[in-house]
Amino acid sequence: MAVAPWSYVVEPARRVARRVQSWRRTPPGAVSDDMSLSTLAVIRWVAVIGQLFAVLFVHFSLGIELPLPPLLAVVGAAVAVNLIMLGMRRRRTRLGRADTIMVFAFDIVQLGLLLGLTGGLDNPFAVLMMLPVAFAATTLPRLPTTLLTALAVVILTVLTVVHRPLPWIDGTLTLPVLYSVAFWLALSMAVVLLAWHVAQISLDARRQAHAYEAMQLALSREQALSALGGQAAAVAHALGSPLATIAVVAKELVREMPASDPLCEDARELLIQAQRCRDVLATLGRPDGNDHTPFTAQPLSHHLRDLAESMARPGVEVRVTVEGVETRDEPRVDIGSEIRHSLGNLIDNAIQFAHRRVTLALTYAETGRSLLIEDDGPGFAPEILDWLGEPYVSSRRRSGGLGLGIFIANRLLARSGAALHFENTKNGARVSIFWPSSALHEGIGDVR
């Protein structure tokens, strides 16, 4: 199939446009690298004042004739940009990444125009070209910094050829061509090396800041989970007696009611759910040990079927599939109460939201094990999809849900080395769980 010649230009242009659009927004959960408007405004006002003072001092105090009208026009353009930024401060406090790139590009071009009107690279103030590049390297990622550095080098190259003579006290000053070329080479190398060095330092600093914030977030989550553990122990102790009373009353109702009574089925369901609550509370204070492993270990697919049966809902079919290994050769494991509670919570959510079907797809591979929990329900609410796994995030707050189930399951599975991912499919919701091979011994390691 023939390829249109313009596609070699259009496609790269589209990729660059998409990349530029991505600079305008910060992904959810990411740390913003946007620059403070007040900081940039102060730097640029200092630069404008310095430019204006240098032009007026050289012209009037040193008696060197300068082209004042075009120079003041170029400085006035910088003042106009500063005033625009001053107006933006009323609406926001930080400048977006794309806007920051345009501001620094303007500064490089504006400084190039000033140098072009006053001798080009023969002007000793040409070394100031390193400043906007250095400021950009401290703020922006590698790609925009590279583009701005290339722009500065291009302007320096143009200034070696196109510029007005250097004004001097007795007319103009002409420097040797070899000196001008050597100075261009030295200044270009200095701009490139300075940008690279400052960008590396800034990148390391940003990585450390991001890692520190990620560590703080992880610590806060662990503290929240620890606090919930203490609350769970207290709740288990407080609910023990009421649940025992409910179970006794429900058992009496089932025994005394005739089978034809329409409430008999409800009484049986009440007894089943009360017993289920007592079983859950019984596991809260029981530590996971290895002494009972030979008696409770079974293939993981069997654990999943047991969990699905205990949480079954009429009209919803739960299907368990195994890939990557024969069913008879599937390794036996003991998943422990924490993993059982986590998987049970996720399976129960899928069953509660499903219309007719829930699929538990277990896959064995050399890299690890993965489990897909899919349902044909309405899927996760779009407004909370990016925040699932955080405490008190739920679409069922109005019906009494606290949003802690997925948070607890996420943290407990993370302790076993698993990684969770939540997404919507065209048929419903999907939860992906993956245990890498290196983490299997910590979570659901093989018994044999």
Site of tokens 């070329």: 181
List of domains in the chain: 33-217 (no CATH), 294-442 (3.30.565.10)
pTM for this prediction? 0.49
Phi, psi angle pair for 163, to nearest 5°: -170, 160
pLDDT band at 447 (very low <50, low <70, confident <90, very high): very low
Cα dist from 329 to 295, 325, 326, 388, whole Å: 18, 7, 5, 35
**Does residue 439 register a pLDDT over 70?**
no
User: According to the model, what pLDDT value does residue 290 have?
Assistant: 45
Mean pLDDT of 184-206: 89
Mean pLDDT of 175-190: 90
Distance CA 104, CA 108 (A): 6
User: According to the model, what pLDDT value does residue 223 have?
Assistant: 66
Q: Among candidates 114, 105, 131, 108, which has minimal Cα distance to 23?
A: 105
Percent share of the chain, pLDDT over 70? 76
Average pLDDT over the chain, rounded to an integer = 79
Cα dist from 262 to 176, 255, 258, 273, whole Å: 107, 14, 9, 18
In terms of DSSP bridges, do strands 94-95 and 429-436 run parallel, antiparallel, or are they unpaired?
Answer: unpaired
Q: Among candidates 284, 408, 297, 300, which has minimal Cα distance to 346?
A: 408
pLDDT band at 109 (very low <50, low <70, confident <90, very high): very high
User: According to the model, what pLDDT value does residue 159 have?
Assistant: 92
Contacts of 284-288 with CB under 8 Å at 24 or more apart are 284/232, 284/233, 284/236, 285/233, 285/236, 286/337, 288/336, 288/337, 288/338
**Does residue 174 register a pLDDT over 90?**
no
Q: Is there a contact between 128 and 111 (Cβ–Cβ < 8 Å)?
A: yes
User: According to the model, what pLDDT value does residue 138 have?
Assistant: 87
**Does residue 417 register a pLDDT over 60?**
yes
Distance CA 72, CA 74 (A): 5
Mean pLDDT is lowest, of 167-171, 177-181, 403-407, for: 403-407
pLDDT band at 225 (very low <50, low <70, confident <90, very high): low
User: According to the model, what pLDDT value does residue 30 have?
Assistant: 38
Q: What is the DSSP letter of 446?
A: B
Which range, 48-57, 95-104, 204-213, 430-439, has the best average confidence (pLDDT)?
A: 48-57
